[in-house]
């Protein structure tokens, strides 16, 4: 049962690749951005507290995100597997997630870092903004989101590399090309599929 995190800059493709990976491994896809937008749309206390940070391109405070995600993963019982997108985004969140994972036997098997050049990220988000009209895809807001990522989230690369679970994946090319790189890297790291047939089924998952 896979427990994975997608770690990448805004616009790198987490929202495309995350659901595909979750479906392949038969686990829930948990996207903090989607959950936060749902809270904003429902005008919950958490949504109201988070909205001003989201609108400006800043990170939602750690305590709000940790509470939201831990509640999602823990109710009614801890999920045995999942693909996370958007959490953790700071070292403080990463350490909180690691402690929660140890306490609940749910530490990450793999952290997938999608590597995409900045000019490609900007091209993608401009296209996405034209299609969706999302406020946080405004170019100035997006550039600020990249600055926040560099400052607060990029340090997680070294954190997970030191833990020996980081998989660095080239995030350019077709959706299928990128999926293939991700699936291959997971298989080669010992996180193959079991009991579902196919080329990955004979690879046992690594012990976390």
51-90 residue pLDDT tens: 877 777 677 777 788 878 877 887 777 788 999 998 888 8
- 128 assigned to active site: yes
Q: What confidence category does residue 199 fall into, taking pLDDT thresholds of 50, 70 and 90?
A: very low
The predicted model gives 136-144 an average pLDDT of 79
Domain boundaries, the chain: 11-162
Q: What confidence category does residue 188 fall into, taking pLDDT thresholds of 50, 70 and 90?
A: very high
Mean residue pLDDT across the chain: 84
- 106 assigned to active site: no
The predicted model gives 139-151 an average pLDDT of 87
pLDDT on residue 208:
28
pLDDT on residue 136:
59
Q: Which of 92, 118, 134, 151 is catalytic?
A: 134
- Asked if pLDDT for residue 143 goes beyond 50, the answer is yes
- 51 assigned to active site: no
Q: Which of 3, 106, 145, 181 is catalytic?
A: 145
Q: Which of 72, 124, 128, 161 is catalytic?
A: 128
Which of 10-19, 129-138, 197-206 is modeled with the greatest confidence? 10-19
Q: What confidence category does residue 135 fall into, taking pLDDT thresholds of 50, 70 and 90?
A: low
pLDDT on residue 133:
65
Q: Which of 3, 14, 24, 181 is catalytic?
A: 14
- 123 assigned to active site: no
pLDDT on residue 189:
93
Residues of the chain with pLDDT > 70: what percent? 89
Compute the distance between CA of residue 171 and CA of residue 153 in angstroms, rounded to an integer.
17
- Asked if pLDDT for residue 92 goes beyond 50, the answer is yes
**Residue 89 token pair:** 């985004």
- 145 assigned to active site: yes
Q: Does 3.40.50.720 match the CATH number of domain 11-162?
A: no
Hey, what long-range contacts does 158-161 have (CB within 8 A, 24 or more apart)? 159/91, 159/94, 160/5, 160/7, 160/94, 160/108, 160/111, 160/113
Q: Please state the pTM of the whole predicted model.
A: 0.78
Q: Which carries the bigger pLDDT value, residue 50 or residue 75?
A: 50
Q: Which residues are CB-neighbours of 94 under 8 A, at least 6 positions away?
A: 88, 156, 159, 160
pLDDT on residue 49:
81
| DSSP code, position 58 | P
Closest CA to 86 of 36, 140, 27, 151: 36
Compute the distance between CA of residue 65 and CA of residue 23 in angstroms, rounded to an integer.
24
**Residue 64 token pair:** 């709000």
CB 31 within 8 A of CB 83: no
pLDDT on residue 194:
56
Q: Which residues are CB-neighbours of 69 under 8 A, at least 6 positions away?
A: 30, 32, 35, 84, 87, 97
């Amino acid at each position: 049962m896979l427990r994975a995190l997608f770690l990448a800059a805004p616009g790198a493709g987490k929202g495309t690749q995350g659901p595909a990976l979750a479906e392949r491994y038969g686990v829930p896809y948990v996207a903090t951005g989607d959950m936060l937008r749902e809270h904003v749309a429902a005008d919950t206390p958490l949504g109201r507290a988070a909205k001003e940070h989201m609108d400006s391109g800043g990170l939602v405070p750690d305590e709000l995100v940790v509470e939201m995600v831990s509640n999602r993963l823990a109710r009614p019982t801890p999920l045995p597997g999942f693909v996370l997108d958007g959490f953790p985004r700071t070292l403080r969140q990463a350490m909180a997630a690691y402690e929660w994972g140890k306490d609940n036997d749910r530490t990450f098997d793999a952290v997938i870092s999608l590597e995409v050049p900045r000019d490609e990220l900007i091209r993608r988000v401009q296209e996405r903004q034209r299609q969706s009209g999302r406020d946080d895809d405004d170019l100035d807001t997006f550039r600020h989101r990249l600055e926040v990522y560099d400052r607060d989230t990029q340090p997680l690369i070294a954190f997970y590399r030191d833990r020996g679970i980081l998989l660095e994946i080239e995030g350019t090319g077709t959706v299928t090309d990128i999926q293939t790189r991700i699936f291959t890297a997971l298989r080669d790291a010992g996180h193959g599929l079991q009991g579902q047939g196919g080329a990955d089924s004979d690879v046992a998952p690594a012990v976390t």
